[in-house]
Amino acid sequence: MKKSLVYTKTGDKGLTSLVGGKRVPKAHIRLEAYGTTDELNSFIGFLMAEIDEGHDMEVLLYIQNKLFNVGSYLATDTETTPPKEASIITDRDIALLETEMDRMDSELPPLSQFVLPGGSESAARAHICRTVCRRTERCIYRVKEVFPVDDQILMFVNRLSDYFFLLARKESNKKGKEIFWNQSLI
C-alpha cells in the first residue's frame, strides 16, 4: 500500500475543497468554523496532558471524537452533499454532556462569585478550552447565517463550553484553589 502524501499542492492558490468537491477560498466561513473546531480539539489534547482522573479522560476523548465529527459536518457542502451519518450530533451526545455537568456540579461548592481563569494548571487549560469553545460557537453561528447547520451541533458546542467551565472548577478545587473576581482591586 502506497503511503499518502500529507501535502497535495491543491491549496497553493488559496482555494480548498469542501466535502462534496466545491472549491472555496481558504478564508471561507466554513473553514474558519471547522478550523476553530480543530483548534479547540487541539487545546483539549493539551488539557488531557494534565488530567489524572480516568473517567474525565474518557469523557474528553469522547468529546474529541465528537468534535472531529462536528468539523466533518462543517466541512461538508450541506446544500449539495448530505452529511455523513458519523458527522451527526445526537440527543445522546448532548445528554452525555449534561449528565457529566450535573455530576461535577453536584460535587462542587456553591458558586456565589465570578470565577477567574486559573487555580491550577489543568483548570487554566480547561478555561482556555472554554473560551476557544465559545469562539467556535460564534464561528458556527456565522456559518448558520448563510448555510444550513443542524441545531444539535450548536446545542452540543454550547453545552461543551459549560462543561469546560465546570471541569475547570473541579480541577481548581481538586488541585489548587479557585480564584474569584475581586472588585476592590479595580
**Model confidence over 73-130: pLDDT tens digits?**
998 877 777 778 878 999 999 999 999 999 999 999 998 888 888 999 999 999 999 9
Within a 10 A sphere around the Cβ of 9, how many other Cβ atoms? Answer: 7
End-to-end CA distance of the chain: 64
Q: How many Å apart are CA 13 and CA 100, to the nearest integer?
A: 44
Can you tell me whether residue 76 is helix, strand or coil? strand
Q: At what angle do helices 151-175 and 54-74 cross, to 10 degrees?
A: 150
Q: Per-residue pLDDT for 151 more than 90? A: yes
Which residue, among 64, 166, 61, 162, has the nearest Cα to 123 in the 3D structure? 166
pTM given for the model:
0.88
Walk me through the domains of the chain, giving residue ranges and CATH numbers.
Answer: 15-185 (1.20.1200.10)
Q: How many Å apart are CA 153 and CA 126, to the nearest integer?
A: 21
Give, for 116, the enclosing helix (H) or strand (E): strand 115-116
Assess contact for 133 and 161: CB atoms under 8 A.
yes
Q: Residue length, the chain?
A: 186
pLDDT tens, residue by residue, 160-176? 999 999 999 999 999 87
Assess contact for 37 and 74: CB atoms under 8 A.
yes
Q: How many Å apart are CA 105 and CA 2, to the nearest integer?
A: 50
